[in-house]
Amino acid sequence: MKETQVIKGPTAIVLTFVVLAACQLARAVIEPVVFACFVIMITWPLDKALQSRMPKALALLLTIIITAGFIFVLFWMIAWGGHQVADWIRLNLDRARDVLVSSTAWLEEHDIFVLALITDYLNPSSMLAFFHAVAVRMNTVLAFSVIVLIFVLMGLAETEAFQKKIASGKNQDIARRVMTAGKKISEKFQKYMLVRTLASIATGIAVWLFILLMGLELASAWGVLSFALNYMPYIGPLVVTVLPALTAFIQTGSTETALFVLLGLVLIQFVIGSYLEPVFSGTALAISPTVVMFAILLWTFLWGALGAFLGVPLAIATLTVCEQFPSTRWIADILSGDSPKEAAEA
């Protein structure tokens, strides 16, 4: 018995690395499937509610249209905000160069040639290659979105049949636990997206008002980007905290103003992320902040920007499944954000 328990630990570790390696090597295939499963668990209640009022095919079509519309609006916001910032930088290149020269003069006197290093990377050929890479990536994102919507369409159409197959399994105890885990994951995903949306709206409005009150340009662009990029925890807020401070420095040439903008945006992100989001989510999504950070870094490394978005949902799903089985429940207890007593009560 003890030997079996000893073997289980290394086996689980090896299987974990095998799964992660497969996710990296088969990224093009697994990514859209995982994202489609995430979307299905969020949109399934909407599809079910619509089916009670209209034919199943029409409800399915309407659900897909609403889902595609939300994804399109989100990508459009990022594209619009990025375009506004890129145009502003292009129109203010001379001012940016002057501010950069004046701010690096002291470093140049001490043989630290920052300006020359930046110039090497910001020459016309490198910028052209960058925008070409962005255009290629946008085409990839468009194709990825189409594949995801096809999977979502097929998945929503087969959800009820899939649930019946699981419920009719030979091992009723495992079937019940799997069904319970699926239901809880779906509920947590819906609450997670609601919390992220409310937090994103609050962040976008707060950033827009702050930049506007500071008398700086690009207030609307930064507000829109703060809303859209807030769906990627840590990475999105980092982008819309550092870049507005840099554009403020270019516009005013004042280090004090740039630092004030940076501190103001950090404060906004901290208040909303540390106080408002926990109030919105309660204890249902309680996960250790360390686990959240690790999940985001891990899946960003494996899948890039999409991994940054899916890192937290995947952690939620993993811990929810672990909760349903006695042999793995200790993992959920350790990695949750609650104390053991609170986790047991939850």
Q: Determine, yes or no, domain membership for 194.
A: yes
pLDDT band of 178, cuts 50, 70, 90: confident
Q: Is the pLDDT of residue 1 over 50?
A: no
How many angstroms separate the CA atoms of 28 and 316, rounded?
23
Q: Determine, yes or no, domain membership for 15.
A: no
* Dihedral sign from CA coordinates of 233, 235, 236, 237: positive
Helices of type H across the chain = 2-25, 27-51, 56-91, 93-103, 105-109, 114-121, 124-167, 172-213, 219-229, 235-252, 255-271, 277-281, 289-303, 305-323, 329-335, 340-345
User: What is the predicted pLDDT for the residue at 342?
Assistant: 45
Q: Determine, yes or no, domain membership for 105.
A: yes
Domain total in the chain: 1
Q: Is the pLDDT of residue 209 over 90?
A: yes
pLDDT band of 280, cuts 50, 70, 90: low
Contact 220, 208 (CB under 8 A): yes
User: What is the predicted pLDDT for the residue at 267?
Assistant: 92
How many angstroms separate the CA atoms of 151 and 271, rounded?
38
How many angstroms separate the CA atoms of 42 and 37, rounded?
9
Q: How far apart are the first and last CA of the chain?
A: 32
SS3 call for 287: strand
> The whole model's pTM is what?
0.76
Q: Determine, yes or no, domain membership for 204.
A: yes
User: What is the predicted pLDDT for the residue at 192?
Assistant: 86
Lowest mean pLDDT among 145-149, 211-215, 282-286, 337-341: 337-341
pLDDT band of 173, cuts 50, 70, 90: confident
User: What is the predicted pLDDT for the residue at 345?
Assistant: 46
Q: Is the pLDDT of residue 344 over 50?
A: no
242: left (phi over 0), alpha (psi -120 to 50) or beta: alpha
Q: Determine, yes or no, domain membership for 3.
A: no
Rounded alpha-carbon distances, angstroms, from residue 239 to 29, 83, 242: 29, 15, 6
How many angstroms separate the CA atoms of 53 and 186, rounded?
22
Q: Which residues contact 177 (CB under 8 A, 6 or more apart)?
A: 324, 325
Q: What is the pLDDT of residues 74-105, one digit of tens each?
A: 888 888 888 888 888 888 777 777 766 666 55
Q: Of 305, 283, 307, give the one whose Cα is nearest residue 294.
A: 307
User: What is the predicted pLDDT for the residue at 46?
Assistant: 86
Q: What is the pLDDT of residues 303-319, one digit of tens each?
A: 887 888 888 888 888 88
Dihedral in degrees, nearest 10, Cα atoms 239, 227, 182, 40: -110
Q: Determine, yes or no, domain membership for 11.
A: no
User: What is the predicted pLDDT for the residue at 339?
Assistant: 46
Q: Determine, yes or no, domain membership for 13.
A: no
Q: Is the pLDDT of residue 287 over 60?
A: yes
Mean pLDDT along residues 193-220: 90
SS3 call for 336: strand
User: What is the predicted pLDDT for the residue at 340?
Assistant: 40
Q: What are the beta bridge partners of residue 336? A: 287
Q: Determine, yes or no, domain membership for 234.
A: yes
Q: Which amino acid is at 321?
A: V
Lowest mean pLDDT among 122-131, 178-187, 265-274: 122-131
Tokens of 70: 């939300």
pLDDT cut 70: percent of the chain above it = 78
pLDDT cut 90: percent of the chain above it = 12
pLDDT band of 53, cuts 50, 70, 90: confident
Considering only residues 153 and 115, tell me which one the structure prediction assigns the higher pLDDT. 153
Q: Which residues contact 81 (CB under 8 A, 6 or more apart)?
A: 221, 222, 224, 225, 228
Domain that holds residue 235: 27-345
